[in-house]
Amino acid sequence: MSETVNLKSVLTCPECGFVKEETMPTNACQWFYECKSCACLLKPLPGDCCVFCSYGTVPCPPIQQDKKCCT
Ligand SMILES: [Zn+2]
């Protein structure tokens, strides 16, 4: 059966500290995220696959399901 995957992640901008809840796409990793406050472009940190893994409260769906993503 389907595993429970949390699609809501709260992103925190490393530049200005702005916090925003976003819904993650289930079928793709989101590489870029533009901060709604300071308009800076967030990119994943080294070793992370997407902005949610780097800046979000919840890792992206493929990570939650213990799958490799972007392969
Ligand atoms: Zn910002």
Distance 3 CA to ligand 1 centre (A): 33
Q: In the 8-state DSSP scheme, what is residue 6?
A: -
Q: Cα(50) to centroid of ligand 1, in Å?
A: 17
Give distance in angstroms: CA of 45 to centre of ligand 1. 16
Is pLDDT at 51 greater than 80 in this prediction?
yes
More confident residue, 66 or 15: 15
In the 8-state DSSP scheme, what is residue 33? E
Tell me the CA–centroid distance for residue 34 and ligand 1, in Å.
Answer: 8
pLDDT computed for residue 27 by the predictor: 78
Amino acid type, 18: F
The pTM of this model reads: 0.83
Rounded to the nearest angstrom, the distance between the alpha carbon of 61 and the centre of ligand 1 is 24
9-31 pLDDT per residue, tens: 999 999 999 999 999 988 777 89
Please give the structure tokens belonging to residue 68.
Answer: 């490799």
